[in-house]
Amino acid sequence: MTGWIAVLMLAAALVAVHRPFGDYMYRVVSGRDHNVVERGVYRLVGVDANAGQAWGVYARGVLAFSAVSILFLYAFLRLQDRLWLSLGLPAVEDHIAWNTAVSFVTNTNWQAYSGESTMGHLVQMAGLAVQNFVSAGVGIAVAVALVRGFAARRAETLGNFWVDLTRITLRILLPLSVVFAVVFMVGGVVQNLSAGVDVTTLTGGVQHITGGPVASQEAIKELGTNGGGFYNANSAHPFENPTAWTNWLQILLMLLIPFSLPRVFGRMVGQNRQGYAIAAVMALLALGSIALTVGFETHGAGTVPQAVGAAMEGKEARFGIPGSATFAAATTLTSTGAVNSFHDSYTALGGMMPMVNMMLGEVAPGGAGSGLYGMLILATITVFVAGLMVGRTPEYLGKRIRVREIQLASLYFLVTPLIVLGGTAAAFATGNDATALNTGPHGLSEVLYAFTSAGNNNGSAFAGITVDTPWWDVALGLAMLLGRFLPLILVLALAGSLAGQHSVPESEGTLPTHRPLFVGMVAGVTVVLVALTFLPALALGPLAEGLS
């Protein structure tokens, strides 16, 4: 019962803050003034902040920034033993460094390593955590560019990538992170540069209590829907997530930006109700998924949960089952991938829900930015499907959905399933599924989960599987890279195509896209597309396990 109160409190908090916070973000991304710090940044970077960019230029900016980020982070990881605060840890192995660099730049934060035994403090804060900020900034920038495409009238340009990235990072992500890092410290999250200290336990043993700049990383980890834990245990670790209220706050932070961006969208296209409709689709899918996840876990089906009397394996006592299951749903409904409990030990169907959430394409509400652009693609597909059914000309927000638009939208939807299912098949074809910890259908679930998480840039795992082998690091690195940048280029191409169009006036034949009917249709199209794509794979893994 108390579990539902926590969910209701989350919903109430989001309803209360999404408007003012969304309005604030709207002013940040649509303002024309540059403050003194930003002008300094533009001068150092050497860009003209007032120049608009066509979609191709914008996309090349995104790709150049991400490519440089991957190389920089890779070098950082490979050289960490020669830098300060490495805690005496050696250079990160080449395949793990590649995997990790791609992982953090793509906002995935899949971790093939264990933080406390691999990463020094400098590489955590100046390498990994920087990408937590800027990868979220890139996601939001691309979403904003797509919305500009819908809002524009015969425009050549989509805004300026460098300006968007700088403003989103410095005006939205940084101030909120400062505030919440301090709040997390009040809750007990550590923030120091200590290499750790050995203590004598009550029974005379020795325990090494670790240190680290954790609070500063924790805030942006959730806010930027990143999810990479400072420690291997991620948000289950008491130094990352010490109490039930910090746990609740972490869930809220994951959902905050993704649920507020539809407000930004509504403001930018000049019709707030369009934003509410998108938020309603997200909320509908999210509430359904949270209810199912908490329901399955609380019910506790399966041999071991029945023997135990509750699905408590892998869950911390202070969070309990609802507090763990709600976190698991939220972390996969967004693209966060932080975990406060270990999904591998969930009940068969409870563990299937995080997978289903990711397979939805992480649109309910999705990652910072990527959730909004994913949902707008689905809305575009829905308009097209609805247009086919009733013989109306498909148009969305005054823009015609022509052949080019629907091609780009369809390709967007097809890319990720291809990566996920292709990758899973490749793992089995090459015998690399043998690194799974569990056997039978659960072993298949571990492999399927890994590629679903990487392809959708989530980063959570059925963590029993061993993935620090060269094959897994390379394969999942490619899955993350393609799963991030192919959709992103398609989104920007779509934005460019939409921006160049005239606006068509609403007519008798226009399908209203702010009514409950449309909300229901988008949710329906999303679920049907995903079910058709992934049901066979799920049937071999979690469904086989749960129904046997």
Partner 1 sequence: MRLPAWLAQHLAALRALLVLTVILGLAYPLLIVGIGRLPGLSDKASGSMVSAGSTLIGQSFDGDPRYFQSRPSANRYDPTATGASNLGPESVVDTLSGDPSPSLLTQVCARSLAIGKLEGVDGRRPYCTPDGVGAVLAVFHRDGLTGPVTRVVSVNQTGTPFLTTYRGVTVEPAGNGTDYRALGAVITPIRGDAPADPVVPADAVTAGGSGLDPHISPAYAALQAPRVARERGLPEARVRELIAEHTTGRALGLLGEPGVNVLELNMALDGRDNEPHASR
Residue 399: phi, psi to the nearest 5? -110, 135
Based on CB atoms, which residue is closest to partner 1, 277 or 321? 321
Nearest approach in angstroms of CB 191 to partner 1 is 4
Rounded Cα gap, residues 343 and 324, in angstroms: 10
Nearest approach in angstroms of CB 307 to partner 1 is 4
Based on CB atoms, which residue is closest to partner 1, 150 or 180? 180
Nearest approach in angstroms of CB 149 to partner 1 is 22
Nearest approach in angstroms of CB 325 to partner 1 is 12
Based on CB atoms, which residue is closest to partner 1, 301 or 486? 301
Q: Are 200 and 194 in contact (CB under 8 A)?
A: no
Based on CB atoms, which residue is closest to partner 1, 340 or 424? 340
3-state secondary structure of 215: helix
Based on CB atoms, which residue is closest to partner 1, 9 or 389? 9
Based on CB atoms, which residue is closest to partner 1, 174 or 284? 174
Nearest approach in angstroms of CB 417 to partner 1 is 25
Residue 183: phi, psi to the nearest 5? -60, -40
Q: Are 387 and 393 in contact (CB under 8 A)?
A: yes
| Alpha-carbon radius of gyration of the chain | 22
Q: Output the CA–CA distances (angstroms, integers) from residue 148 to 136, 270, 495, 508, in the order listed.
A: 18, 11, 7, 26
Our CA dihedral for 385, 389, 390, 394, rounded to 10 degrees, sits at 20
Q: Cβ–Cβ contacts within 10 Å for residue 8, how many?
A: 10
Strands 399-400 and 395-396: antiparallel
Rounded Cα gap, residues 49 and 22, in angstroms: 24
Structure tokens at 205: 């043993």
Residue carrying the six token digits 């407000």: 263
Burial label for 90, CB within 10 Å (0-12, 13-18, 19+), is: exposed
Nearest approach in angstroms of CB 455 to partner 1 is 21
Based on CB atoms, which residue is closest to partner 1, 394 or 443? 443
Based on CB atoms, which residue is closest to partner 1, 305 or 354? 305
Nearest approach in angstroms of CB 429 to partner 1 is 20
Nearest approach in angstroms of CB 370 to partner 1 is 20
Based on CB atoms, which residue is closest to partner 1, 134 or 372? 134
Based on CB atoms, which residue is closest to partner 1, 317 or 390? 317
Residue 365: cis peptide before it, omega within 30 degrees of 0: yes
Nearest approach in angstroms of CB 490 to partner 1 is 21
Residue carrying the six token digits 């937590």: 132
DSSP letter string, 335-361: S----SB-GGGS-HHHHHHHHHHHHTT
Structure tokens at 3: 């579990």
- Closest to 78 in 3D by CA, of 99, 64, 107: 99
Nearest approach in angstroms of CB 324 to partner 1 is 8
Nearest approach in angstroms of CB 7 to partner 1 is 11
Residue 114, C-beta contacts closer than 8 angstroms, at least 6 positions apart: 231, 232
Based on CB atoms, which residue is closest to partner 1, 137 or 262? 137
- Closest to 526 in 3D by CA, of 343, 371, 310, 337: 371
- Closest to 264 in 3D by CA, of 138, 357, 399, 145: 145
